[in-house]
Amino acid sequence: MVGQGQQQLQRKPIFQISGTWYIKAIAAKKGILGKNVSPVILSLLSSGNIQASFTKRSNGQCHKIDMILEKTRVPGRYRTSGALHFLHMEGSSVRDHRLFFSELQFEGERFQVAKLMGRNPGVNTKALEEFKKFAQRKGFLKDDIFIPLQTESCSPEPH
């Protein structure tokens, strides 16, 4: 019989994905992403899927983006609904940080993006070094990696 204290030690910690996340570093080729980013709100749904919400400015206007990341059979791998877009999440050795790798296809071209995300907007040098190694393992060059400018969420005008 296992005592209550031993049962607690045997449990694996559950990573809490829901909440506000900040994009701290990005690796991308071809300049496909803007240099300004707003926080991302992730919500774990009862189905195991994840809802991602964020805002972005385009042509001087604010747009709210909501997407559902559908879980796949591969742990940590998600697919966006209705698109050829896959997202893989990995843990980080740095508390409150995650490594993300996306593969998407748009207009016949394949794109890859890696992101370091954390619970606060400040840069953590240990997490950044870990991300650089992660991005290089995924095929990115040092010149493909940049630190985006953190911006507040904008508010879309009602229609």
Least confident of 11-15, 47-51, 53-57, 100-104: 11-15
Would the pLDDT of 124 be above 50? Answer: yes
* Containing structural domain, residue 60: 16-150
Residue 95 lies in a domain: yes
Residue 9 lies in a domain: no
Residue 11 lies in a domain: no
Residue 78 lies in a domain: yes
Residue 6 lies in a domain: no
Residue 33 lies in a domain: yes
Q: What total of structural domains would you count in the chain?
A: 1
Residue 3 lies in a domain: no
Residue 1 lies in a domain: no
19-75: pLDDT as tens digits? 999 999 999 986 656 677 889 999 999 998 999 999 887 787 888 989 899 999 998
The top-scoring range by mean pLDDT among 16-20, 76-80, 123-127 is 123-127
CA 128 to CA 143: how far, in whole Å? 14
CATH number at residue 92: 2.40.128.20
